[in-house]
Amino acid sequence: MIILQIFLLSSLFTFIFISLHFLSLYIFSFSKMVQQIIVPFILSNLICFYFVKDFEIYNFFYDSFIINITILIIYGQFVNIINKGFTLSIITSFKKKKKLFHNELIKNYANGKGAKWILLNRLKILNKLKIIKLNKRIVLNPFGHFLSIILIFLRKILAVKDFG
Amino acid sequence: MQLFLISTFFFLVVNFLISVLLKKYTYDKFFIYVVSYFILINFINLIYLKNINLFTFQSLFSVIILFVHSVLYRSVSVKIIVYLYLKKASVGINSFYKTEFKEKSFNKRVKILIDNGYLIKKNKYLTLSARGKKYLKVLKIFQSIYKIKFVEGY
């Protein structure tokens, strides 16, 4: 019975959260991911809290909040994949041309930006975050060294052997 | 708290054993493991423990672990950082693009799409299969709902 109450509370949250997300997209035209998702997440939790604070279901708000964070991660990841999915982008390269040579596919990738663009884009971001130094060659910064140790450690813990 | 730590430790130990036993431990297999683990642990919880906090913790833990694993397994940025660290030297952008990115990431994904029946290779041409066309149609609908003009690519 408790679990049903938590699900009920989280369902209410999901409905408000997704509605607010679409409001932020269509009415306020927020462009940044944080504005589009985090602001609706906080607001919908506050709305849920306000509505249930006088009822018994309020006791399960903490558990429901944990489920809400889980919903946020799943939803955020779903929107992110539609927006930035590597493999999906290969499929959408066939929007304009139905037949492509392998080299054409590489050039047409990401709406004609090309496959190399992603690599350069990621390198620029890593350079901006001071993880690498970027000239004609790529070199790790001390922060990059530290980060790579953490990443390798995490890969070992989760037994990730290869790259996909 | 002890219950959370024990379940997490159990998860990691079984995950390690699976990775040793299986020849290729891909993300799909890891996903199946996480879902099976989640069902099993909550089944035990439902019958014996009846602990609601364990259920909420497991939900969050499973999603975070899937998210972290996908980043560590697929992210281009992580690949660059780990590659540079293991190489212990600077790398030219063009050589990295040709040997690591184009061959081991881009071509690998194209091969996966061909193997899974989304793409067809015909006389050196690549075309979408019926399954791929269906997928593109669904993707277009979601992109229009979320006002996405094109997929940026990871």
**pLDDT value at residue B99:** 86
CA of B32, closest CA in chain A: separation in Å?
Answer: 14
A78/A101 same-domain check: no
**pLDDT of B129:** 92
Together in a domain, A74 and A117: no
- Does A85 lie at the interface with B, CB-CB under 8 angstroms? yes
HEC string of chain B equals CHHHHHHHHHHHHHHHHHHHHCCCCCHHHHHHHHHHHHHHHHHHHHHHHCCHHHHHHHHHHHHHHHHHHHHHHHCHHHHHHHHHHHHCCCEEHHHHHHHHHHHHHHHHHHHHHHHCCCEEEECCEEEECHHHHHHHHHHHHHHHHCCCCCCCCC
A99 lies in the same domain as A80: no
Same domain, A10 and A65: yes
- Whether B152 has a pLDDT exceeding 60, the answer reads no
Put simply, whether B10 touches A (Cβ < 8 Å) is: no
Backbone angles phi, psi at A137, to 5 degrees: -115, 160
Contact between chains at B80 and A138 (C-beta distance less than 8 A): yes
Residue A89 included in any domain: no
- Is A68 found in the same domain as A8? yes
Statement to judge: residues A60 and A35 lie in one domain: yes
What is residue B151's predicted lDDT score, i.e. its pLDDT?
55
Report which secondary-structure segment, H or E, holds A99: strand A99-101
pLDDT above 80 for A31:
no
**Are B91 and A137 inside 8 Å of each other by CB?**
yes
Stronger pLDDT, A32 or A51, i.e. the higher one: A51
Domain final residue pick, A84, A119, A148: A84
Q: Which domain holds residue A68?
A: 2-84
Q: What is the mean pLDDT of residues B86-102?
A: 87
Q: Pick A89 or A149 by higher pLDDT.
A: A149
Residue A161 CB contacts under 8 Å (≥ 6 apart), including other chains? A155, B19, B25
| A11 lies in some domain | yes
Chosen domain end from A24, A52, A84: A84
Smallest CA–CA distance, residue A14 to chain B, in Å, is 16
Judged against a pLDDT cut of 90, whether residue B9 lies above it is answered with yes
Interface confidence (ipTM) of the complex: 0.85
Half-sphere exposure in the Cβ direction for B102 (13 Å, CA) = 16
In A, which residues are within 8 Å of B142 by CB distance? 82
Q: Are residues A43 and A100 in the same domain?
A: no
Alpha helices in A27-114 (DSSP H): 33, 39-52, 61-84, 86-92, 102-112
- Quick check: A131 pLDDT over 80? yes
Least confident span in A5-19, A103-117, B21-35, B129-143: A103-117
| Domain presence at residue A164 | no
Q: Is B116 on the interface with A (CB under 8 A)?
A: no
Confidence of residue B154 (pLDDT cuts 50, 70, 90): very low
Residue of chain A with shortest Cα separation from B143: A82
When mean pLDDT is compared across A26-30, A136-140, B1-5, B125-129, the lowest value belongs to A26-30
Distance, CA of A134 to CA of B79 (rounded, Å): 16
Share of chain A above pLDDT 90, in %: 38
CB proximity list for A146: less than 8 A, separation 6 or greater: none
Residues of B (81-100) whose Cβ lies below 8 Å from A:
81-82, 84-85, 90-93, 96-97
In which order are the strands placed within the sheet that holds B119-122? A99-101, B125-128, B119-122
CB atoms A110 and B153 under 8 Å: yes
User: What pTM was computed for the model?
Assistant: 0.86
pLDDT at A34 over 60: yes
* Predicted pLDDT of residue B150: 59
Specify whether A17 is located in the same domain as A80. Answer: yes
B38 touching A, CB under 8 A?
no
Mean pLDDT for B39-60 is: 90
Between A and B, how many residue pairs show a Cβ–Cβ distance under 8 A? 214
Please write the tens of the pLDDT for every residue from B102-123: 888 888 888 989 998 999 988 8
Mean pLDDT of B55-60: 92
**What's chain B's average pLDDT?**
89
One-letter amino acid for residue B61 of the chain: F
Q: Does B147 touch chain A (CB under 8 A)?
A: yes
Q: How many domains does chain A have?
A: 2
Q: Is B60 within 8 Å of chain A by CB?
A: yes
Q: Which residues of B touch A85 (CB under 8 A)?
A: 151, 153-154
pLDDT over threshold 80, residue A114: yes
Looking at the domain assignment, is residue A53 inside a domain?
yes
- Select the residue of B18, B26, B151 nearest A89 (Cβ to Cβ): B151
